C-alpha cells in the first residue's frame, strides 16, 4: 500500500500536448478515479504512472521513491485492461500464474498465491478451465486475480467493465471495491462512466483536454461542481443564465425564470457579473403552491414514468427544464395544469459564465 504523487507531469505526442503540467496526490489505500470524455488524457496519465509512457516533464513518486525513470516491470504495478488480455490457450490458473513465473517465484509459492488470488475473486473452482469456457464477468475476475497475485504496490484499471452488460457492471463495481479494500490496495481507475466513479471511488478527478478540472470526494464533485464542464459531465443538470444582483456568501441571481438564491463554492461572484446556475433535476421539487424561495412556475409538458422515479419536461417561460421525482405523485394521468418547482439554495450552484 503506497501513496502516489504526481508533480507537473507533461506528456506530448508530436505537436499535441496530452497532459498539461498535472499535479495530483493519491493517498495510500485510496480508490481514485480518473474520469472524463474520450481523448481527455486519463488513459495517458494511467499509462504514464505504469511506466509505459515516459513523461516529457515532471515527476512521479510511489511513496518517497521517484519512479519517473523506472521501466514498467520495476514499478511493480498490477494493470487491468479493457480487453482483459488473457491467454486463451492457458487455463485460468495458468493465466493467473504467468506474472509470478516471469518473476521466478518458486512453484509451491505460485500454487499458494494463485489459489488465494482466485479465491479472493470467487473463481477458485474454475482454476482448471480454459478462458473461452468463461463468461465475460468471469474473465474479468480472472484478469483482476492476475493483476493482484503479484502483490502490486498499486492497481491500475483501464475501463475494465466497459465490455460487460449492465447487470454485471453493477455487480463487479462492488466486487472491485471489496477486493481492493480487503487487500489494502491503492487503486487508480480510468472510466468515462459517472455512475461507476460515484459508486466505487473514494475520490475522483474530472479531466478535460489534458487538465484536471476538479478533484474531490464523489459527492462533493457531483453536488458542488467547479465549472459548467464538470457540472454537465457529472450528470444531467439544468443550466439557467443570469446576472448577480447581490454578491455575498449566498449570491442572488436575476434570471429569465425569476430571482434565485444560490451557492458559490471556491469563488466569489461580483455584483453585475454574468453567471450560469446549475440545478440538478432531482433537486427540483414539484408542488401546487409557490415555494418561498427559488420558485419556478410552469407546466409539465411530458412525463416518463419509471416506477420508482418519473422524469418530467417542465416548461417554465421560454425554457424547458428537466425534473426527476422519486416516488412520483405527478406522473399519472391527472392534468394538474400550472405547477411550481422549487430548489433549496444549497442545490442552486452559481458558476462562472
**pLDDT of 170:** 85
Task: Choose among 277, 170, 263: nearest CA to 232.
Answer: 277
Average pLDDT over residues 238-246: 97
**All 3 cell numbers of residue 175?**
466486487
User: Has residue 37 got a pLDDT over 80?
Assistant: yes
C-alpha cell read off for 171: 455487480
Strand order in the sheet with 4-13: 16-26, 4-13, 57-62, 65-66
CA–CA dist 225, 218 (Å, integer): 10
Residue 332: the pLDDT is 65
Q: Which residue has the higher pLDDT, 317 or 21?
A: 21
CA–CA separation, 353 and 347 (whole Å): 18
Q: What is the pLDDT of residues 252-292, one digit of tens each?
A: 999 999 999 999 998 999 999 999 999 999 999 999 899 99
Going by C-alpha positions, the residue among 55, 52, 19, 14 that lies closest to residue 34 is: 19
Long-range pairs, 38-41, Cβ under 8 A, ≥24: 38/192, 40/207, 40/208, 40/209, 40/210, 41/11, 41/207, 41/209, 41/210, 41/211
**Is the pLDDT assigned to residue 229 strictly greater than 80?**
yes
Q: What share of the chain is helix, strand, coil (3-state, %, to 5)?
A: 30, 35, 35
At residue 330, does pLDDT exceed 80?
Answer: no
Question: In the CATH hierarchy, which fold is given to the domain comprising 236-352?
Answer: OB fold (Dihydrolipoamide Acetyltransferase, E2P) (2.40.50)
Q: Which residue shows C-alpha cell 481492493? A: 180
Domain boundaries, the chain: 4-225, 236-352
Q: How many helices (H) and strands (E) does the chain have?
A: 9, 20
Rounded average pLDDT over 137-161? 88
**Looking at the domain covering 4-225, what would its CATH class be?**
alpha beta
Is residue 156 predicted with pLDDT exceeding 80? yes
Residue 285 is predicted with a pLDDT of 94
The answer to whether residue 351 scores a pLDDT higher than 90 is yes
Q: What is the mean pLDDT of the chain?
A: 92
Helices (H), the chain: 42-50, 72-75, 92-102, 107-120, 136-149, 166-183, 194-200, 218-223, 228-233
Q: Which residues contact residue 102 at a Cβ distance below 8 angstroms, ignoring those fewer than 6 apart?
A: none
Amino acid at each position: 500500500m503506497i501513496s502516489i504523487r504526481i508533480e507537473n507531469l507533461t506528456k506530448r505526442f508530436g505537436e499535441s500536448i496530452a497532459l498539461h503540467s498535472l499535479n495530483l496526490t493519491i493517498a495510500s489505500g485510496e480508490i481514485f478515479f480518473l474520469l472524463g470524455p474520450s481523448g481527455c488524457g486519463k488513459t495517458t496519465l494511467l499509462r504514464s504512472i505504469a511506466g509505459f509512457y515516459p513523461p516529457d516533464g515532471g515527476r512521479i513518486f510511489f511513496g518517497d521513491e521517484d519512479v519517473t525513470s523506472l521501466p514498467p516491470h520495476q514499478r511493480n504495478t498490477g494493470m487491468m485492461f479493457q480487453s482483459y488480455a488473457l491467454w486463451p490457450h492457458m487455463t485460468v490458473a495458468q493465466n493467473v500464474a504467468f506474472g509470478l513465473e516471469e518473476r521466478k517465484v518458486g512453484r509451491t509459492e505460485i500454487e499458494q498465491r494463485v489459489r488465494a488470488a482466485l479465491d479472493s475473486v470467487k473463481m477458485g473452482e474454475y482454476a482448471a478451465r480454459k478462458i473461452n469456457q468463461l463468461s465475460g464477468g468471469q474473465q474479468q475476475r480472472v484478469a483482476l486475480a492476475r493483476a493482484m497475485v503479484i502483490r502490486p504496490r498499486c492497481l491500475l484499471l483501464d475501463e475494465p467493465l466497459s465490455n460487460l452488460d449492465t447487470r454485471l457492471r453493477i455487480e463487479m463495481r462492488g466486487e472491485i471495491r471489496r477486493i481492493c479494500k480487503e487487500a489494502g490496495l491503492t487503486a487508480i481507475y480510468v472510466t468515462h462512466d459517472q455512475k461507476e466513479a460515484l459508486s466505487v471511488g473514494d475520490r475522483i478527478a474530472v479531466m478535460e483536454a489534458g487538465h484536471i478540472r476538479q478533484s474531490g470526494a464523489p459527492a462533493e464533485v457531483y453536488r458542488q461542481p467547479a465549472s459548467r464542464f464538470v457540472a454537465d459531465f457529472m450528470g444531467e443538470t439544468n443550466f439557467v443564465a443570469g446576472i448577480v444582483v447581490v454578491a455575498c456568501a449566498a449570491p442572488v441571481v436575476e434570471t429569465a425564470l425569476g430571482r434565485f438564491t444560490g451557492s458559490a463554492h471556491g469563488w466569489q461572484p461580483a455584483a453585475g457579473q454574468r453567471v450560469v446556475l446549475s440545478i440538478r433535476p432531482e433537486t427540483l421539487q414539484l408542488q401546487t403552491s409557490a415555494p418561498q424561495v427559488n420558485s419556478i412556475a410552469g407546466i409539465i409538458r411530458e412525463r416518463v414514468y419509471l416506477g420508482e422515479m418519473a422524469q418530467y419536461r417542465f416548461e417554465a417561460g421560454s425554457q424547458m427544464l428537466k425534473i426527476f421525482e422519486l416516488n412520483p405523485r405527478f406522473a399519472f394521468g391527472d392534468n394538474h395544469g400550472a405547477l411550481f418547482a422549487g430548489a433549496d439554495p444549497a442545490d442552486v450552484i452559481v458558476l462562472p459564465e
